[in-house]
C-alpha cells in the first residue's frame, strides 16, 4: 500500500505530524486495516502521545490479535506510562506468538521487567536477546544496568564496556592501546572524558590509584571541572575536552575505571576524596555569615535539563520551599542552569539565598558546599560532589533511580555521608515528607539556642 510506504518514509525522516495526518486519513478510509492502526500507534508514540498510541495499538489488536509487533509496541507504550505489569504481559504474548523470536522482543520484555524492579528476570530476558544476536548492543547495555542495580559488579562492568562500541560514547581516535589496569612506569596514560559531570566526579575517586601505578597521567575533563581536578594534584597534565589529544602510550575511558578497580561492593574506594580549593572559600563567607546560628542547608531541585530523564527526577522549587523552609533553617540555592529562573519568580523576602551568581564552576560549588551543614536535592552532579567531599547529603529519589543507588537501601557504599529518601512508587510525597520531618528534628537544638518562646498567661 502506497500510504504505508509514504508514512514509513515520513516516520524515518522525523516528519511525525505528516505521518500521523496521513495515517489518520487512511484509517478513516480503511478502518479494518490493522497494519495502518499499528503504524499510527508507532508514530503517535514517537510524538510522545502515548495514550493515543495505546488506543491505536488496541484497535489494531481487536482486528488482529495475533500481531506480535503490535503486542510488543503496546508493551513499550505502557512501560513509558509506568504500567509495567501490564506491559510485561503484552511482551510475553508477543513472544508466545512465534518460535522464531529475534532479540528485539526479549529486549523489550527486559526493559519492562527492569522498570518494574525485577532485575534478575530482566537479566534473563536480555540474555535471551543476546543468545539470538550477540551483537545486539542495546540488550548488553541494559543487562549491564540490571547487574549494576543488583550490585553484580564483575558481570555488570563487563557489559558496561559495550558503550564504547555502541555509539553511546562518540567514536574518535584514541592514542595508544587500551589500558588494562596494569602498571605503566615510564609511559603516558591518557584518561578520556565521557558522559556527564556526575560521572566524572564519581570516578575521580580512582585517579590517585591510577597515578600510583605508573608514569605520566594526562586527564581529559570538561572545562567546568578544571580547577577541581587540578586541585587533587594527581595529574601531570589536565586538558579540556575538545582540545587536541596528545600522543600517549595508553588510553582509558574514564568510566571504565570502576571495572578495573571495583569487582564487588567491598572494593569500593571510600570518600572523601575531593575538597574545595582554598582560594575559593573566602568569597562565600559573607553569604554564610547571614545564617546567624541557623542550620545552613543547600538545595538543588533539578539536574541538567538536557538529560533525557530529568523530568523523572526534577521538581519545582516551591516543593522544596514547602518542605524545607522551616524555622531554624537558612536555605541556599546551589541550582545552576534554566531552573534558576524559578528563583526570580519568588516574592521579596523569600527564605532562600541564591548562590548561583557566585558560582562559575565546580570549584566554586565545592567552596559553597564546604560551608554548608547539609545538602538536600534530587539526583544530579552536586550530590556526587558533596558526597565526594564527605558532606552530609540527603538525596530524594524517584521510582526508577540511577543504578548507582542500588535497590531499597537508604545508604550507599559509594558515599558514606549520603542518605537516600526513596519515593513510594510514583508518589514523591513520602520522600519529601520523610526528609522534612528529619530536618525538623535536626533544628530542635538550634531553636533552643535561639531562645524559648515567652510563656503564655491566661
566554586: which residue's cell?
Answer: 364
Instruction: Give the whole-angstrom CA distance, residue 418 versus residue 420.
Output: 7
**DSSP string for 222-257:** -GGGHHHHHTT---SEEEEBTBPPPP-SEEEEGGGH
DSSP 154-207: HHHHHHHTTHHHHSSSPP----SEEP-S--EEEEEEEEEP-S-HHHHHHHGGGH
Dihedral, CA atoms, 131, 135, 138, 139, nearest 10 degrees? 20
Q: Are 395 and 410 in contact (CB under 8 A)?
A: no
Query: Is the model's pLDDT at 115 over the cut of 70?
Result: yes
Whole-number pLDDT of residue 363: 96
Question: How far is CA 101 from its chain centroid?
Answer: 31
CB 359 within 8 A of CB 381: no
Q: φ, ψ for residue 389 (rounded to 5)?
A: -90, -5
Residues with Cβ < 8 Å from 452, sequence gap 6 or more? Answer: none
- Write out pLDDT tens, residues 116-141: 999 999 999 999 999 999 999 999 99
| Residue 456 pLDDT exceeds 80 | no
The cell for 188 is 603516558
Helix (H) or strand (E) holding 412: none
Mean pLDDT value across the chain? 92
Omega before residue 272 within 30° of 0, cis: yes
Question: Which domains are assigned to the chain?
Answer: 2-166 (1.25.40.10), 177-267 (3.40.50), 278-447 (3.40.50.2000)
Provide the pLDDT confidence category of residue 102 given band limits of 50, 70 and 90: confident
457 pLDDT more than 60: no
437: pLDDT strictly greater than 70:
yes
* Backbone φ, ψ for residue 377 (5° rounding): -165, 165
Q: Is 316 helix (H, G, I), strand (E, B) or coil?
A: coil
At residue 101 the predicted structure's pLDDT band, cuts being 50, 70 and 90, is confident
Query: Bigger pLDDT: 13 or 448?
Result: 13
| Residue of 169, 217, 171, 226 whose CA lies nearest to 194 | 169
51 burial class (0-12, 13-18, 19+ CB within 10 angstroms)? exposed
Give me the percent of the chain exceeding a pLDDT of 90. 76
pLDDT for the residue 454: 39
Per residue in 183-215, is it b (16+ CB within 10 Å) or e — as a string? ebeeebbbbbbbbbbbbbbbbbbbbeebbeebe
Q: Max CA-CA distance within the chain? A: 87
User: Would you state the pLDDT for residue 310?
Assistant: 64
Read off the C-alpha cell for 329.
533553617
Q: pLDDT per residue over 337-387, tens digit each?
A: 888 999 988 887 788 999 999 999 999 999 999 999 999 999 999 999 999
449: confidence class by pLDDT, cuts 50, 70, 90: low
pLDDT tens readout for residues 300-332? 998 776 666 766 777 889 999 999 999 999 999
* CA nearest neighbour of 199 among 142, 244, 257: 257
User: How would residue 455 be classed by pLDDT, with cut points 50, 70 and 90?
Assistant: very low
Q: Classify the C-alpha dihedral 37-42-48-54 as positive or negative.
A: positive
Could you tell me which residue, 52 or 449, shows the higher pLDDT?
52
pLDDT band at 451; cut points 50, 70, 90? low
pLDDT at 249 over 80: yes
Which strands form 295-300's sheet, in the order they lie side by side? Answer: 352-354, 329-333, 295-300, 374-378, 393-397, 418-422
pLDDT above 70 coverage of the chain, percent? 95
For residue 172, what pLDDT is reported? 87
∠ CA 305-309-310, nearest 5°, is 35
pLDDT of 192? 96
Section 34-52 average pLDDT: 95
DSSP code, position 362 = H
pLDDT digit string, tens, across residues 53-94: 999 999 999 999 999 999 999 999 999 999 999 999 999 999
pTM, 2 dp: 0.91
Amino acid at each position: 500500500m502506497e500510504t504505508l510506504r509514504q508514512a514509513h518514509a515520513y516516520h524515518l525522516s522525523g516528519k511525525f505530524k505528516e505521518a500521523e495526518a496521513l495515517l489518520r486519513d487512511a484509517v478513516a478510509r480503511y478502518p479494518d486495516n490493522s497494519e495502518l492502526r499499528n503504524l499510527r500507534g508507532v508514530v503517535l508514540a514517537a510524538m510522545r502521545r502515548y495514550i493515543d498510541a495505546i488506543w491505536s495499538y488496541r484497535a489494531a489488536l481487536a482486528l488482529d490479535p495475533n500481531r506480535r509487533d503490535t503486542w510488543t509496541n503496546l508493551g513499550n507504550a505502557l512501560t513509558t506510562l509506568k504500567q509495567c505489569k501490564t506491559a510485561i504481559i503484552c511482551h510475553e504474548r508477543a513472544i508466545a506468538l512465534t518460535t522464531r523470536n529475534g532479540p528485539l522482543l526479549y529486549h523489550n520484555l527486559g526493559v519492562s521487567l527492569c522498570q518494574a524492579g525485577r532485575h534478575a528476570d530482566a537479566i534473563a530476558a536480555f540474555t535471551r536477546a543476546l543468545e539470538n544476536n550477540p551483537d545486539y548492543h542495546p540488550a548488553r547495555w541494559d543487562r549491564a544496568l540490571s547487574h549494576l542495580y543488583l550490585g553484580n559488579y564483575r558481570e555488570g562492568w563487563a557489559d558496561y564496556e559495550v558503550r564504547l562500541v555502541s555509539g553511546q560514547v562518540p567514536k574518535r581516535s584514541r592514542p595508544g592501546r587500551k589500558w588494562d589496569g596494569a602498571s605503566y612506569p615510564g609511559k603516558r596514560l591518557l584518561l578520556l572524558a565521557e558522559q556527564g559531570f556526575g560521572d566524572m566526579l564519581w570516578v575521580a575517586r580512582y585517579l590517585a590509584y591510577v597515578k600510583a601505578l605508573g608514569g605520566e597521567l594526562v586527564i581529559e575533563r570538561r572545562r567546568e571541572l578544571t580547577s577541581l581536578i587540578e586541585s587533587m594534584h594527581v595529574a601531570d597534565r589536565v586538558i579540556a575536552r575538545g582540545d587536541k589529544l596528545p600522543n600517549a602510550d595508553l588510553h582509558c575511558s574514564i568510566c571504565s575505571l570502576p571495572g578495573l578497580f571495583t569487582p564487588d561492593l567491598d572494593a569500593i574506594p571510600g570518600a572523601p576524596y575531593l575538597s574545595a580549593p582554598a582560594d575559593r572559600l573566602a568569597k562565600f563567607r559573607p553569604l554564610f555569615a547571614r545564617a546567624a546560628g541557623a542550620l545552613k542547608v543547600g538545595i538543588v531541585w533539578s539536574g541538567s535539563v538536557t538529560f533525557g530523564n530529568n523530568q523523572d527526577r526534577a521538581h519545582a522549587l516551591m516543593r522544596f520551599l514547602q518542605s524545607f523552609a522551616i524555622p531554624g533553617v537558612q536555605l541556599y540555592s546551589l541550582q545552576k542552569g534554566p531552573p534558576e529562573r524559578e528563583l526570580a519568580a519568588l516574592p521579596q523576602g523569600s527564605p532562600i539565598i541564591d548562590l548561583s551568581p557566585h558560582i562559575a564552576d565546580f570549584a566554586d560549588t565545592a567552596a559553597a558546599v564546604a560551608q554548608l551543614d547539609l545538602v538536600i536535592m534530587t539526583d544530579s552532579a552536586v550530590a556526587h560532589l558533596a558526597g565526594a567531599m564527605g558532606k552530609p547529603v540527603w538525596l530524594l529519589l524517584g521510582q526508577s533511580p540511577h543504578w548507582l543507588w542500588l535497590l531499597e537501601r537508604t545508604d550507599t557504599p559509594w558515599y558514606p555521608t549520603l542518605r537516600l529518601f526513596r519515593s513510594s512508587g510514583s508518589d514523591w510525597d513520602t520522600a519529601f515528607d520523610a526528609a522534612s520531618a528529619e530536618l525538623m528534628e535536626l533544628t530542635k537544638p538550634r531553636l533552643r539556642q535561639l531562645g524559648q518562646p515567652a510563656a503564655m498567661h491566661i
